[in-house]
Every structure is written in structure tokens, then in C-alpha cells.
Amino acid sequence: MLTLLDWLMILGYFGLLAAVVFFTHRKQETSQDFFLGGRTVGWLAIGASIFASNVGSEHLIGLAGQGASSGLSMAHWELHAWVLILMSWVFLPFYYKSGVYTMPEFLERRFGARARWILSLVSLAAYVLTKVSVTVFAGALFFEVMLPEVQLTIGGTVISSFWIGAFTTVTLAGIYSCFGGLLAVVYTELVQTGLILAGSIAVTLFSLSKLGGVEGGTLFNGWAVLKSTLKADPQIVEAFSLWHPLSHPTLPWLGVLIASVTIGVWYWCTDQFIVQRSLSAKNLREARRGTIWGGALKLFPVFIFLVPGMLGYALYKHGLINIPVENGALAGDKIFPTLVQSLLPSGFRGLVVAGMIAALMSSLASLFNSVSTLFTVDVYKKLKPETSERELVHVGRLSTITITVLGIIWVPIMKAISSGGLYQYIQSVQGFLAPPIVAVFLAGLFWKRCNLRGAVWGLSLGFILGMAKLTVNSACAKSGPAFLQAIAKFQDFYFSGLLLALSFVIIAVASYSAPPPAREQLEGLNYSCLDESFKAENRASWNWVDVVGSAFVIGMVIAAYAYFWTWLK
């Protein structure tokens, strides 16, 4: 139960949120104001926005759940801070210099209008299948555990806290995203980053302290107790390892390596949801520095989401907390809220709940703004090019409703096919969507022979193959023709690597079946066709600070891998 102090912490968060929206909503006169914050945002807010947009409720719920069931197996996706360094140095100069609003718009510059249409529609579908539904579902699970007493009865029907929490946060996130645009999203996420970090670190520290008390120690003994608890069971040591054998049914090391990098490049380097934050910067230097800062913040999730999940498992084994058991296994997706409810004192509990709400709302608000940008700029404006700036802002505000409804409709379907855990569900579905997009962007930047036909065929056939695999997984995993069951049982992460290779082959074959693009079409859009002004502007946008920051992030990723590779030996 939440106390008065907890509720005051939560109300304080909403008061701060309202103040930010109030001071930003008056600056939304043009489409650039609404969709890119008028290109006035500094590096500190950009990095925080990247982090808060990425860390949604699915991280606090799903990643902690994976930590309790598979230890560090999913850490590869969270050690992608190095991919943000790749984004800042390799991809970002092209995006920012081209002056585009969206990633589909960049593809149109590089290839042509049809490539833009396809990526726009694929991106909108991806947001429904992964981001909206998962974020809403994970947030609703948190409210179900934390506030079970909150219910409404309408016409004899009892509405649980699960749905009350889901619809309330969706509505509030939609309101401030609609009124404040990207500027409100970015600056509220600066606040939300602090809340998410403070709340999650509090859960980690209190869990370590509780576990350390098992051997009469303190917080500093908690890590040793965690390791000894896990090493007591050889099966747990194997399950919680960073790497698994090639025969592993869900997390073979080669499949994980290929799929995690593919998904990472797609998500951090080509997805509108993330890249839009960098495009809002004052200049290229602020954009790059903000992206590097986002990479530094990205180092935290393994330690404040996965580790609490493992701590929750250890606390359960010692009888210190009670975690629900479903179908003979721990209900992993309920571990984080259980830790909050069981271990945190008054005040801290409110801090974490506020952080949870912040994570949920920041991801949703970022998503709403990205969806409205994609729909308005890449669909509506293409169909009605004479649309005024004021009407574009109006359409952008209205377009969030449809995507939200579609996402909520997908929630029960997602629940049925996400038996491996929310976080693993996300990575599996993204593994079906990411490969063709990654292939087209890489081919576009590094291979000047790649043309419109190659991009269109690569995106189209790749998306069809990915969606076919998702459909077969949902419909034929346990019944149906033998060949469809065989496809459904084909390891998802291996399929992601296979789809990436097929996408490159399709792009190459299709590109060679049509004339190459003219060199003037590639100026500033391909590494082989850069003029001196582009090179000079790019060089002027960085100095030793950016180099040292990038080296620090990469060094920390290497250090994390070096430690966790053998930490249970």
C-alpha cells in the first residue's frame, strides 16, 4: 500500500510535468517547432531523451523478469552503448546535414519516393507490434501489482487496476505530447531520466542490502551472497550465463550475437523513435555530443534492471520475498513491482512508482511524437503537399489516437505469444522487422551502386518474410502442417541473421537489374560521394571531448563483457 508520503512524491512528479508542458506548449507554431523542437535542443537534454525514450516500462518489468529467469542472457541488447557511438560518428552526419525530419525522408533523398513510403508503413506497423502494446502492457502489469485495490465498477463490470493504469497513463502521455510537441517530450524526459535512475538504483541498493543480511552482512555483502546463491545450483549457473551453446533453444550465442547487433543498429541508428531526438539539436556538435551522452546513460540498464531481477530470484530462494508462481515458474514480469512493494520504505516506494510512471509516459510520449511525425510528414504531407504549417501541427496532434488504439488492440494478442517474457518478445519481433531496414541503410550509405529498385525490393520482400515468420509463430507453433510447424520452430535469432543475409542478396540482385543512380543524386548521401564542404563541416563538429567520451563508453562496454563473461565461474 502506498502511504501519504508516496502519493506526495507522485503528485510532485505530475506537478513538475505540468510545469514543463506549460512552458513549452506556446512554442509550437510551425511543423519544425512541433516535430523537431525548432532545432534548439542542447546535448544534455538530447542524451537524456534518448535514454528515457528507450527505457520504458518494458525495461523495468520485462528486463527485470528476464534477469530472474535467464540472468545475463539478455544483457547483449543492453550493452549496445557502443552502437550509439557508431550512430554519432557514422550515421548522424548524413542525417543532420541533409536537414530531414524523418528516416523515410532520408531514404527518399537517397533512393526515391517509393522507398520512403515503404519504410513509413513498415515503421508504423513496427510501433504497433512492439512499442505501443508492450509499453502499455508492461505499465499495466506494474499497476496491477502495486495498486490492486484501485478498481472501478461500471454497470456491474469491475475494471481492474491493470486497465485503469494502462488507459490513464496513455491518456496523460498523449495530452502532453499533443500540446507540447517534441520540445515538451525532450525536456520532460530530462526530468524523467533522473527519476528512472534514482528509483531503479534505490531498488538495486535495497535489494543488495536485504540479500547481504542473509549472512549477517550489509549492502556490500549482497553481491557475494547473490553469486554464492546462484553458484549453488549448476543449472542456474548455466541458465544465468552471458553466453549459451549453439544448441540452446532460445538464446544460442551465435544467434544472439547476430540478432542483437542487427536490432541494435536498426534501433539506435535508423529508427525514427531514437534518431528524431538527435535531429532536434542546435547543430551537429550538439547532436553528436547528445548521442554520445545517451550512450553513456545506456550503460546503466544491465545494473539497474537485469541485476535487480537476479537479486529478486536470490531473495525468493532465501524466502525473503514472495514472488507469484505461474505455470510452475516464477512470474518474472511481476518481480520488479514485487521488489518495490516488499523492500522499499515509504517515500522511496513513491519515488520508484513515480519513476515507473515516468518510464511509461516518456516512452509513450516519445512514441506518439515519432508516430505523428512519420504520419504527418511522410504520409499526409506527401498526399497533400499544399498543407499549411498550422494544419500539419493539427494533423500531428490527431494522428496519435489511431496508433494508440491499434496498440491497445494488439495487447491481448501480444500477451498470448510472449510466453518467454516481455523483453524476449520485443527482441524476437524486432528481429523479424530490423534486418531489411538495416540492410537498406547500410547499402545506401556504403555502396553507391545501390539504387531505388534495390531498396524497394529489399524493404518489401524483407518485411513480407519477417511478417510471415511472425504469423507462422503465432498460428502454427503447436498445430498445422508439418512444414509450417518446422518454420515456427526455427530459432528466431538465427532467422534474424538469415533474413539479414537474404535482404543484402535481394538488394544486390535488384540493384544490378537497373541502372546505377547518378552521382549528383548521391552527393552528401553516400560515403563515396562527399564534397569538401561536407567533410570540413563534419570535422569542425567534434574535438577531443567527443573522442574521449566515445572511448569511455566503448571501454565501459568492454569492461562489462570482461567481468560478466566469467563472473559465475
pLDDT along the chain (569 residues), means of 10: 80 79 62 62 88 75 81 86 95 89 89 89 74 69 68 71 71 67 72 82 90 78 89 87 87 90 92 86 92 94 88 89 76 79 83 75 73 79 77 74 66 55 63 92 95 95 90 76 84 92 97 92 88 88 95 96 88
Among residues 493, 470, 490, 492, the alpha carbon closest in space to that of 482 is found at 490
Q: Which three cell numbers stand for residue 445?
A: 550509405
CATH number of residue 321's parent domain: 1.20.1730.10
Kindly report the three-state secondary structure assignment for every residue of 396-419: HHHCHHHHHHHHHHHHHHHHHHCC
Nearest alpha carbon to residue 443 among 498, 510, 508: 508
In terms of C-beta density within 10 A (0-12 exposed, 13-18 middle, 19 or more buried), how is residue 153 classed?
exposed
With respect to residue 199, please indicate whether it lies within any of the assigned structural domains: yes
Residue 290 to residues 77, 163, 177, 370, Cα–Cα distance (Å): 21, 36, 21, 18
Q: In this structure, which amino acid lies at residue 515?
A: P
* Count of beta carbons in the 10 Å neighbourhood of residue 234: 8
Give the whole-angstrom CA distance, residue 177 versus residue 401: 12
Residue 183 within a domain: yes
- Note whether residue 238 is domain-resident: yes
Q: Which helix (H) or strand (E) holds 329?
A: strand 329-330
Q: Is residue 439 part of a domain?
A: yes
Give this prediction's pTM. 0.85
The predicted structure's pLDDT at residue 36: 57
Kindly state whether residue 400 falls inside one of the protein's structural domains. Answer: yes
Q: How far apart are CA 405 and CA 390, in angstroms?
A: 25
Residue 83 lies in a domain: yes
Give residue 511's domain range: 4-413+422-564
Rounded to 5 degrees, what are φ and ψ at 271? Answer: -90, 130
Q: How many C-beta neighbours within 10 Å does residue 110 have? A: 26
Query: Which sign does the torsion angle of CA 220, 352, 61, 295 carry?
Result: negative
Strand partners, 148: none
For residue 569, being part of any structural domain is answered with no
Report whether 127 contacts 370 (CB < 8 A). yes
Give the pLDDT confidence score for residue 264 in this predicted structure: 92
Q: Does any domain span residue 311?
A: yes
Q: For the chain, what is the domain count?
A: 1
CA atoms within 13 A on the CB side of 198: 17
Task: Tell me the angle at which helices 161-212 and 4-24 cross, rounded to the nearest 10 degrees.
Answer: 120
pLDDT of residue 445: 95
Q: Angle at the Cα of 457 (from 452 to 462), degrees rounded to 5?
A: 135
Specify the amino acid at residue 394. Answer: H
Q: Are 124 and 370 in contact (CB under 8 A)?
A: no
- Determine contact, residues 338/347, Cβ cutoff 8 Å: no
Residue 526 backbone zone (phi > 0: left; psi -120 to 50: alpha; other: beta): beta
- 417 contact partners, CB below 8 Å, separation of at least 6: 425, 473, 474
